[in-house]
Structure 1
Amino acid sequence: MAIKGFEILLWFLIIPLAAGNLPVFETGKEKDWFVRMTDALICGYVLLFAVFELLALPLIFTRQSFAVLKYSYEILACVLALAGVIFAWKNKKNRADGAERKKSLSRKKIPAAMWLAFLLVAIQMGAYVFGMATDLDDAFYVATATTTLETNGMFTYDAYTGMLASYLPARYVFAPFPILLAFYSDMVHMHAAVVAHTVEPVFFLLISYLVYWKIGRKLFDKDDRKVGLFLLFLVLIQMFSYYSVYTQGTFLSIRIWQGKALLASFVLPAIFLQAKECMEMNRMCDAWVTLFLMMTSACLVSGMGIMLAPIMLGLMTLLYAVKDRNRGNIKRAVICCLPNVICAAAYVIIR
């Protein structure tokens, strides 16, 4: 049990946190250690999602075995994590005032609303750990992951019938998120259904609320009291929005392990926040690289992300172009949308 717990922490927390410290991200420039850790975790997940998408698609279309993808991605993820640790260690001397910052943090009073929001988030995590809500989409997502592990093939068998598939499912092949579920299941040595319903939701819920917390800091100019109230009301709205199976709160609180739910809860809000920062910086910087990786991640989690992400980024780019009377960001936004455009064009071709 202890070994499984360590494997879960390794692949869902330690490796993403380490990979998020790479110099391509701006996490090291933040003075507050908690914000720096938050940025590293978010960027780490985005980087690993994007790498999996770029690695999986060629292997799927060339009909390679799942073992090839598994070992390739495992090695690459570990290398990225190790590189992130080395980079963070080298830059540790630039943060020699860490003790002083910890003292200032201890004197900083966290508002009661923020504590209450943390408690409600913990309750949502507990609901995933100690309970389980099944969904009709289990018939495809969990079955695809299980079939991948059993047959060592990716989309080679129909998840609904178990029969040998004569063609690749165009609707899902460009968003191989169930294959990533199979990878996680193999790494932590647990059944795909358990990983999907119990393990993944805890960490996906965490990174989603971390993005919301960062959005609150952006909107309310880092005012902890206002950010705490913002986060509290957001959590309450999410918890009491199960009046339909299609609401955003339902996707977050009940089925976040599904790719389309992760798209709505984590990827699109992260793209919104990152795009806002890129447009306001109005120059080429590391933030645009992060945005490119986020757009690639949108392709991984859901086929809807292939279209929704560039639509949102395109609208934001046009609004900022009119607002600031500057067209310089349009070219960079187009480059960030290239993964989505390529996947959409390939979908039309094989459809």
Structure 2
Amino acid sequence: MSQSIFGVVSLIFWLLIAPLMVGITFNFILPKEKRRLGITFLLGFLIYVAGFEIIAIPCMTKIMYNAFSYCVKYYVILAWVLMIPGIIKTALAVFKDKNLNKLFYVRKADERINDTKNNGMNVASRSSVSSDEFEAADPEVAKKHKLETYIYWGIFFALLAFQMVMAVLMASFDGDDAYYVVESLLAQQADVMNTILPYTGISTSLDIRHALAVITMWIAFIAKVSGVHATIVSHTVIPLIVIPLVYLVYVEIGKSLFRKKQEFVPVFMIIVSFLLMFGNVSIHTPATFFLMRTWQGKAIVCNLVFPLIFWIFLEMMEKKEDKTDEKKEEKTDSAGVEHTTEKVVAKAGIRQKISTFSFGWIMLIFVNMLAGMCTAMGVIFATGLIGLLTLILLFIKKDWKVLIGAFICVIPNFVYLALYLSIWSS
């Protein structure tokens, strides 16, 4: 009984709390309005797994005996180094400031209404104004729309819960499990990293075709530190993390697509959930991989990595108006008479534009690392997708600095390919 409790607590810590603390440590790179709980967790998860890739590949290629034990030890140290600043920030926000808004951005309702009043918008048409403006103009009708929005969100969360429950109760076993899941199990029980052939149990040289896709080793790490069997982690635990994470990305995509119609987001999510639930028209569709092979790297790439790339580019493609912050400055002339002048102190729009661009390219670095961690194919396809979307972004922004950001964010992919070819030829 105590072992089961320890396993559950360990899983919660290493799969939920640890990524969140890492995200809180690094959420300063996010624009203020992006420092929400979901995006902070997403950022932390990307950095968290990227750290494992940095530790796992050298351990696998350089250490001959007990490689996985060294990998676990070094990664635990790195994870705590990444978490401790976030833990300190959280403790200060909870016990000293008693205000979680220090950690996450929460936009208050009165701020939205004040923004609308300050804009002086004439809400004459429902189709031409944002939901916040409509709420400020007609509270009674807005209350009805808000109720409808809550109902739609309730339907979506019911569908999400149904998918998660069915992913556990009706766990699908795939032929690839004979390789991928066994690799995780061998790491957990035999303390090796891709040096035993799963099909026969015979020792072999490093299998470079699959070795750099260390998602199996990360699953083995979760199994090792929690004491839960690697097969259970793969088939039962990982879907409970990946499925909500994928939908979190789609929520952010919906918010980007419907910036002034946020009440459409839950409807969008219901449509997405139905497409994923009933997308099993063949064994090769992303929907099939999403719900039936969730723990495999290919499933994570097509259902998490690619939507992440689209969302980040949607954020960077947004055209923001430059807003000028002004403040009054008191000046006194030689006669001692005070004069009030308006002085431009900041270009908030420009700062926001720079911040959004920086956060986008930085997150893409970690997204590319996640792609390589899942499958070598992810490196190729992610690079191609980023290249295509960069051309579109370049056309929209007409700024050559876009090319610099695109080049920097795919550096991990070039390093991955160079490492792959060097090991292959050796």
Q: Fold-level match, TM-score > 0.5?
A: yes
Aligned residue for 1:285, secondary structure, equals: helix
Which position in structure 2 is the counterpart of 1:3? Answer: 6
2:313–2:393: 8 Å Cα contact kept in structure 1?
A: no
Structure 2 residue 53 is matched with structure 1 residue 53:
yes
| Alignment partner of 1:70 out of 69, 72, 92 | 72
Using the TM superposition, give the Cα deviation of residue 156 of structure 1 relative to its aligned residue in structure 2, in angstroms.
1.5
Cα distance 1:209–1:25, how it changes in 2: closer, same or farther (>3 A)? Answer: farther
Deviations 1:67-106 (A, max 9, x none): 111011112112212212223455675837999949999x
Which position in structure 2 is the counterpart of 1:138? Answer: 177
Using the TM superposition, give the Cα deviation of residue 222 of structure 1 relative to its aligned residue in structure 2, in angstroms.
5.5
Structure 2 residue 20 is matched with structure 1 residue 17:
yes
Which structure 1 segments of 5+ residues have no match?
Answer: none
| Count of residues in correspondence between the two structures | 346
Cα distance 1:313–1:28, how it changes in 2: closer, same or farther (>3 A)? Answer: closer
Higher strand share: 2
Partner amino acid, structure 2, of 1:124:
Q
Cα distance 1:61–1:199, how it changes in 2: closer, same or farther (>3 A)? Answer: same
Structure showing greater radius of gyration is 2
Q: CA separation in 2, counterparts of 1:48 and 1:176?
A: 13
Partner amino acid, structure 2, of 1:47:
I
Which position in structure 2 is the counterpart of 1:249? Answer: 287
Q: CA separation in 2, counterparts of 1:222 and 1:170?
A: 48
Deviations 1:244-287 (A, max 9, x none): 11111111111111111011111221122123324554676243
More divergent stretch after superposition (190-199 vs 281-290): 281-290
Partner amino acid, structure 1, of 2:86:
G
1:86-125 residue pairs with structure 2 within 5 A? 86-90=88-92, 93=97, 95=101, 101=108, 109=147, 110-125=149-164
Structure 2 residue 220 is matched with structure 1 residue 182:
yes
| Alignment partner of 1:30 out of 27, 30, 33 | 33
Across the aligned residues of Structure 1 and Structure 2, the Cα RMSD in angstroms comes to 2.6
1:22–1:88: 8 Å Cα contact kept in structure 2?
A: no
Cα distance 1:244–1:81, how it changes in 2: closer, same or farther (>3 A)? Answer: same
2:290–2:300: 8 Å Cα contact kept in structure 1?
A: yes
| Alignment partner of 1:263 out of 301, 312, 315 | 301
Using the TM superposition, give the Cα deviation of residue 28 of structure 1 relative to its aligned residue in structure 2, in angstroms.
7.7
Larger relative CO (CA 8 A, sep 6+): 1 or 2? 1
Using the TM superposition, give the Cα deviation of residue 316 of structure 1 relative to its aligned residue in structure 2, in angstroms.
0.8
| Alignment partner of 1:81 out of 80, 83, 99 | 83
Deviations 1:299-327 (A, max 9, x none): 10111111111111111111111233221
Q: CA separation in 2, counterparts of 1:253 and 1:79?
A: 34
Which position in structure 2 is the counterpart of 1:191? Answer: 229
Partner amino acid, structure 1, of 2:295:
W
2:195–2:207: 8 Å Cα contact kept in structure 1?
A: no
Cα distance 1:69–1:101, how it changes in 2: closer, same or farther (>3 A)? Answer: same
More divergent stretch after superposition (188-197 vs 89-98): 89-98
Q: CA separation in 2, counterparts of 1:99 and 1:347?
A: 44
Aligned residue for 2:36, secondary structure, equals: helix
Which position in structure 1 is the counterpart of 2:423? Answer: 350
Cα distance 1:25–1:269, how it changes in 2: closer, same or farther (>3 A)? Answer: farther
Normalised to the residue count of structure 1, the TM-score between the two structures is 0.90
More divergent stretch after superposition (271-280 vs 258-267): 271-280
Q: CA separation in 1, counterparts of 2:39 and 2:106?
A: 20
More divergent stretch after superposition (59-68 vs 136-145): 59-68
Q: CA separation in 1, counterparts of 2:192 and 2:291?
A: 32
Q: CA separation in 1, counterparts of 2:182 and 2:42?
A: 28
Aligned residue for 2:265, secondary structure, equals: helix
Cα distance 1:3–1:175, how it changes in 2: closer, same or farther (>3 A)? Answer: same
Aligned residue for 1:20, secondary structure, equals: helix
Q: CA separation in 2, counterparts of 1:127 and 1:332?
A: 41
Cα distance 1:75–1:46, how it changes in 2: closer, same or farther (>3 A)? Answer: same
Cα distance 1:222–1:14, how it changes in 2: closer, same or farther (>3 A)? Answer: farther
Q: CA separation in 1, counterparts of 2:374 and 2:416?
A: 13
Cα distance 1:5–1:321, how it changes in 2: closer, same or farther (>3 A)? Answer: same
1:282–1:328: 8 Å Cα contact kept in structure 2?
A: no
1:41–1:207: 8 Å Cα contact kept in structure 2?
A: no
Which structure 2 segments of 5+ residues have no match?
Answer: 113-142, 319-352
2:279–2:285: 8 Å Cα contact kept in structure 1?
A: yes
Deviations 1:184-218 (A, max 9, x none): 11112111111000011001111110000110011
2:317–2:397: 8 Å Cα contact kept in structure 1?
A: no
Deviations 1:10-59 (A, max 9, x none): 1111111111112355458238xxx7110111111101111111111111
2:256–2:314: 8 Å Cα contact kept in structure 1?
A: no
Cα distance 1:25–1:286, how it changes in 2: closer, same or farther (>3 A)? Answer: farther
2:32–2:105: 8 Å Cα contact kept in structure 1?
A: no
Q: CA separation in 2, counterparts of 1:301 and 1:282?
A: 31
Aligned residue for 2:180, secondary structure, equals: helix
Normalised to the residue count of structure 2, the TM-score between the two structures is 0.75
More divergent stretch after superposition (221-230 vs 295-304): 221-230
